[in-house]
Amino acid sequence: MSDEFPPDPSTGLSGSKTTDTLHPPDELAGSLTEALRRRVLTMNLAVTLLAVVLALAIGAVLIAVSSPSVIEAAGYFFARPMDTFSAIWNSVASAYSALFQGALLDVDELREGNIADAFYPISETLTVSAPLILAGLAVAIPFRAGLFNIGAQGQMAFAAIGGGLVGFGLSLPAGLHLVASLLMAMIFGAFWAGIVGFLKAKTGAHEVITTIMLNYIALFFLGWVLNQDWFQREGRNDPISPILNETATFPLLFGGGLRIHLGILVALGAVIVVWWMLTKTITGFRIQTVGANSAAARTAGMNVGRVWIIAMLWAGAMAGLAVSMNVNGTDKVVTAGIVGNIGFDAITVALLGRGSPFGVLGAGLLIGGLRAGGLAMQASTGTPIDIVLVLQALIVLFIAAPALVRSVFRLRGKTAESLTIAKGWGS
Amino acid sequence: MNTNLEVRVRKSLGALAGIGAAALVLAACGSTPDDGGATTSAAPSPSPTDTAAPSPVLPPVKACMISDAGGFDDRSFNEIAFLGLEAAKAEYGIETLALESGSDADYQPNINQAIQQDCSIVITVGFLIGDATEAAATANPSVDFSIVDYAYEAPPENLQGLVYATEQSSFVAGYLAAGMTETGAVGTYGGIPIPSVTAFMSGFYQGVQYYNEAKGTDVEVLGWDPTDPEKGTYAGGFEDQNQGKQIAKNFIQQGADIIFPVAGPVGLGSAAEAQANDGVSVIWVDTDGCISASQYCDVFLTSVMKGIDASVKASIGAVVDGTFSSALYVGTLANGGTKIAPYNEFDGAVPAELKAEVEQVTADIISGTITVTP
């Protein structure tokens, strides 16, 4: 199990040995992202899971040392050491139990027969996961074409303008209105991401640089738009849009205080569509071929630039759908903070999901669960939600450094591969 | 190379663990608490005094607070609101719960968490939570809500807005700044042009103009355009301290020697720049800068304080006494909901005559002789 590779079509084409010959050292940024990309695509499922386990273990240490009861008990450690250990156990166990209960199922409420309250946690997890999954796809698709999309944040911000305008500005019948708003968000997102693909294809501008810069432009543009008469809510001077018309919002699936809405099914559908696109269509084949070896793809007669643009258009459309989960789903309004940090969390999701649509689904659910559970943990045990952000960062760290995970768990590893990237970052 | 990296990581992890262990050992020589409190796992049994609580008629109050995305450690309004919660806890002996939001998406779930935790009053901090708070108040009529920095036109009966006429205290600060400047120019800038920010800048400007009229001087205010708030100077957010440094640098180059940043932590950059330039001082915002950012106390002429803590405490107090109402709370110079901080290290530098005039201006605003517009 531990040495199996995921069933990934690109692995057959990618020999890690060839990486360096394809990318001469002067193309530093390109070869770095390429090496990391290859690393993630061929990563072992066991390492991914162990990265999560390791992160949780370090999180436990942080919870313990920051817990007031542990600090108090440690004050008289030599007089009665067992107090410290029991305080550590209590703080970690109660925090993690609240985290997991807050992400999955409230057992106490279930015992009392409050069905809606009992399922509140899983409803929250799914609600929070939906935009993460979609934004994760927005990073994963270009990833398969060999591009690092750091720009989901900006694509979402720009898409929020389009989706919001249709959502509160037009009057259309229910259903049609929602579809129109989603389509507009996808078009806006695709346009913003398409710029990146176009610049890459026509001028060779590195997508990491252009996406980061476009993030700033989109976020400040959104801030400006929110202060314009045609976008700002009437009677308000705050940067906030009107509330979306009821017809343009996702209907709740169950109601009764559960926030879970139809958008979750849209996210699931998008995962399947992207999987189908990547594995069953010519577009997908081209994307994967260009990602595996762009020089070979070019030699084989593929228009590499066009494939890059197409991959970015798909990414932008997914980013548009992602922000719609907030605009048309939970918040029903556009604000400067509508994107939150989802565009950057999406990078975590895509890395953790190893760039595959179903991997992204799983990773999105995991991160979403951590987020939802984190809020419940904070409410019931007072553990700060920042711990969840630390967990997330640790997971990424361990995924980026699989050799570390392997050595901690004494797994046999391919250290030669990690050597390449360490050299790359160091030189 | 890779192994080196790993070794380094291991070493630093080891060093960290070492520091932690040393700290524990140093701290670990204390004595155990009294036998009664020693068993940490045992739940505290209700003592007879608990059952004979002073107000047997009213159910116990649990006050809960939800921060905006800035978090409770923002050294700004979330933090002061939290201090108000702590003050209420100390004074009324009630249970409290503080829920931090990591992003805008956390507001609704956090309010839901607060309701699930049986809070009797939920205080949300910041206008961004306005819609979510109103929706929750309508859906949960048995829970009281109040919101910092937000006013509703027609709130439900269980929802109170808490707002602050900060233009009044900023007016006083503007008068003081005009009286203290040596160069004849002062500067102000905001985070983003929203009413809770521009009120400070506008009040500050009016205070300087009032001084100019009274004394026949011509003190200039940089960074504020009275005809269009949008055209003032803004940092574009509330986080980037480098922006604060850069803006302060520009103001100083244009001849200003007193700077009034209205941008939360961004202002720390301006305070650092003021420290590096002789004769430049800063008026801090929201809190008394000498307490919240004491490392820069030597450049803080004074601070324009927003009495968020007082209003939060008042709101919780009303729930404790059973007098909670949805009537808008407006913090003014008159009710202490906004004021300027002591001069602290500048106490000797401000002439007694100017101090008296500042007192007079304050009294005139309270009595209505001077009207200040936001």
Q: What is the pLDDT of residues B176-229, one digit of tens each?
A: 999 999 999 999 999 988 888 999 999 999 999 999 999 999 999 999 998 888
Higher pLDDT, A46 or B208: B208
Best B82, B106, B138, B147 residue to mutate vs chain A (most A CBs within 10 Å) = B106
Best A70, A72, A77, A229 residue to mutate vs chain B (most B CBs within 10 Å) = A77
How far apart are alpha carbons A419 and B230 in whole angstroms?
53
C-alpha to C-alpha distances, A24 to A19, A200, B2, nearest whole angstrom: 9, 19, 20
- Asked which of A11-15, B25-29, B169-173 is least confident by mean pLDDT, the reply is A11-15
Fold (topology level) of A123-382: ABC transporter involved in vitamin B12 uptake, BtuC (1.10.3470)
- How much is the ipTM here? 0.78
CA proximity to A210, closest of A223, A192, A189: A192
* Helix A28-41 and helix A415-426, axial crossing angle in degrees, nearest 10: 150
- Asked if A69's CB is within 8 angstroms of B230's CB, the reply is no
Among chain B residues, CA nearest to A117: B116
Give me the pLDDT at residue B82, please: 93
Helix runs in B93-194, H state only: 107-116, 130-139, 166-180
Dig out the tokens for A15 from the structure: 């020999």
Q: Is B26 on the interface with A (CB under 8 A)?
A: no
pLDDT band at B29 (very low <50, low <70, confident <90, very high): low
Q: Is B154 on the interface with A (CB under 8 A)?
A: no
What is the dihedral sign for C-alpha B276, B281, B286, B288?
positive
- Asked if B31's CB is within 8 angstroms of A79's CB, the reply is yes
Nearest 5 degrees, angle CA A277-CA A282-CA A287?
70
CA proximity to A75, closest of B24, B281, B234: B24
What share of chain A in percent tops pLDDT 90? 50
Enumerate the residues of chain A whose CB falls inside 8 A of the CB of residue B97: 379, 382
How far apart are alpha carbons A296 and A319 in whole angstroms?
30
Dig out the tokens for B233 from the structure: 């100077």
pLDDT at B173 over 90: yes
Q: Mean pLDDT of all residues in chain B?
A: 84
- Asked if B192's CB is within 8 angstroms of A223's CB, the reply is yes
CB-CB: which of A76, A331, A379 is closest to B31?
A76
Name the amino acid, one letter, at B40: T
Name the amino acid, one letter, at B183: T
| Residue A196 C-alpha, separation from nearest chain B C-alpha, in angstroms | 25
Nearest 5 degrees, angle CA B210-CA B211-CA B215?
120
Enumerate the residues of chain B whose CB falls inside 8 A of the CB of residue A259: 108-109
Enumerate the residues of chain B whose CB falls inside 8 A of the CB of residue A86: 40-41
Enumerate the residues of chain B whose CB falls inside 8 A of the CB of residue A220: 236
pTM for this structure?
A: 0.78
Beta bridge partners of B164: B331
pLDDT at B161 over 50: yes
| Residue B146 C-alpha, separation from nearest chain A C-alpha, in angstroms | 19
Enumerate the residues of chain A whose CB falls inside 8 A of the CB of residue B72: none
How far apart are alpha carbons B348 and B287 in whole angstroms?
21
CB-CB: which of A90, A124, A389 is closest to B41?
A90
DSSP A345-372: HHHHHHHHTTT-HHHHHHHHHHHHHHHH
Helix (H) or strand (E) holding B338: strand B338-340
How far apart are alpha carbons A112 and B116 in whole angstroms?
14
Q: Is B216 on the interface with A (CB under 8 A)?
A: no
| Residue A303 C-alpha, separation from nearest chain B C-alpha, in angstroms | 37
- Asked if B32's CB is within 8 angstroms of A83's CB, the reply is yes
How far apart are alpha carbons A354 and A40 in whole angstroms?
5
pLDDT at B25 over 70: no
CB contacts < 8 Å between A and B, how many?
131
Give me the pLDDT at residue A64, please: 87
Give me the pLDDT at residue B22, please: 52
Q: Mean pLDDT of all residues in chain A?
A: 84
How far apart are alpha carbons A261 and A267 in whole angstroms?
11
pLDDT at B43 over 70: no
| Residue B179 C-alpha, separation from nearest chain A C-alpha, in angstroms | 32
Domains and CATH numbers, chain B: 58-164 (3.40.50.2300), 166-306+343-367 (3.40.50.2300)
- Asked if A227's CB is within 8 angstroms of B193's CB, the reply is yes
pLDDT band at A399 (very low <50, low <70, confident <90, very high): confident
pLDDT at B357 over 70: yes
Among chain A residues, CA nearest to B199: A237
